[in-house]
Amino acid sequence: MLIPARPGWSRYGAAVRSKNYAKDVLSGDWRRPRKGQIPEIAAESGLVAEDPSSGFCGAVVACEKDSVTLEDRFGKRRVFPLAKAGFLIDGKPVTLVRPVRAAGRAISASGSIAVAGLRARVARESRIYVEGKHDAELVEKIWGHDLRVEGVVVEFLEGVDHLPEIAEEFGPEPGRRLGVLVDHLVAGSKESRIAEQIDSPYVLVTGHPFIDIWQAVKPATLGISAWPDVPRGIPWKEGVISALGWRGEPGEVWQAILGRVRTYADLEPALLGRVEELIDFVTAPGG
């Protein structure tokens, strides 16, 4: 369950790749299939694909025996034949196929047991805040099922400079807990000094050591050896894009990165543990 802390952002608003980019914005580093092969990709929920004949681009919201339903950033849905070998993902042709469900209990992207026929429960008063839109999208993609099971809403803050005031305004108390995920929460950082100002037992501020949530994606997931070091004074995202020879604006590149993330195994343990900790905190008895 994911809502923006500010208006004007829809669930798939930033997830749809611009069709102006014919090439993969992360080209040069991806592992490619042999020439002439069109890979088969499971039409998992949330996967962003494009129908080149119509230009319709959206996220998978349903997959039946012979069809797949895509929803664009405006909430419009269209149904396409499933075995069609003409979809594009990150500008590359693929054949979408029905996901294969393992025998026994299904597993969610976070590794938890998926609840069949899930209907989201009424939202708790407790909340999880993350710093930005990219953080929120990644949490939704991996833990969205778990959050809907638990009735937890995730909101994004666009930074934590005013976190103490935001936490006070939230009004934490028994039954109304606040969990906050902070980027670059390391000793001596600005973020750590801000976090130390909050001492309510009903607020948990935790975080990962990465400069940006992009780094929480394992390099191997993206076909690169490591995230590059960016010199001081250069915006980090732009510096990464330049150093790796990728193409596109940060928002475009992020959607390409997010498209490569399928399960918790694609993320660094330093992020996994912190998000699980926050979910446990806000869903504790009385939370």
Per-residue model confidence (pLDDT) at position 7: 35
* Residue 69 · residue 77 · CB < 8 Å: yes
Helix (H) or strand (E) holding 260: helix 250-260
Binned at pLDDT 50, 70 and 90, residue 42 comes out as: confident
* Residue 159 · residue 132 · CB < 8 Å: yes
With a cut of 60, say whether residue 31 has pLDDT above it.
no
Q: Is the dihedral of CA 245, 246, 248, 250 positive or negative?
A: negative
Q: How far apart are CA 3 and CA 133, in angstroms?
A: 10
Q: How far apart are CA 28 and CA 244, in angstroms?
A: 9
Task: Give me the DSSP letters along 135-149.
Answer: HHHHHHHHHHHHHHH
Per-residue model confidence (pLDDT) at position 18: 37
Q: 119 versus 218: which is more confidently predicted?
A: 218
* Residue 145 · residue 170 · CB < 8 Å: no
The residues spanned by each domain of the chain are 40-97, 127-282
Per-residue model confidence (pLDDT) at position 120: 53
pTM: 0.62
What CATH class has 40-97? mainly beta
With a cut of 70, say whether residue 105 has pLDDT above it.
no
Per-residue model confidence (pLDDT) at position 44: 81
Q: Shortest CA distance to 141 belongs to which of 14, 281, 50, 284?
A: 14
Lowest mean pLDDT among 81-85, 203-207, 234-238: 81-85
Per-residue model confidence (pLDDT) at position 118: 52
Helices vs. strands in the chain: H and E counts, helices first:
7, 11
Residue 99 CA: distances (Å) to CA of 41, 112, 129, 263: 8, 18, 32, 14
Average model confidence (pLDDT) across the chain: 80
Q: How many Cβ atoms from other residues are within 10 Å of residue 54's Cβ?
A: 9
β-partners of residue 41 are 96
Q: 154 versus 110: which is more confidently predicted?
A: 154
With a cut of 60, say whether residue 19 has pLDDT above it.
no
> CB-based contacts of 37: which residues, under 8 Å, 6+ apart?
none
Local structure of 86: helix, strand or coil:
coil
Q: How far apart are CA 261 and CA 118, in angstroms?
A: 23
DSSP state at residue 98 = P
Tokens of 92: 């590359």
Q: How far apart are CA 260 and CA 68, in angstroms?
A: 20
Tokens of 185: 């929460």
With a cut of 80, say whether residue 30 has pLDDT above it.
no
Residue 72 CA: distances (Å) to CA of 19, 48, 97, 193: 13, 9, 20, 40
With a cut of 50, say whether residue 14 has pLDDT above it.
no
Per-residue model confidence (pLDDT) at position 283: 92
Model confidence pLDDT, tens digit, residues 261-281: 988 888 999 999 999 999 999
* Average pLDDT value for residue range 122-126: 80
β-pairing, 127-130 vs 153-156, is parallel
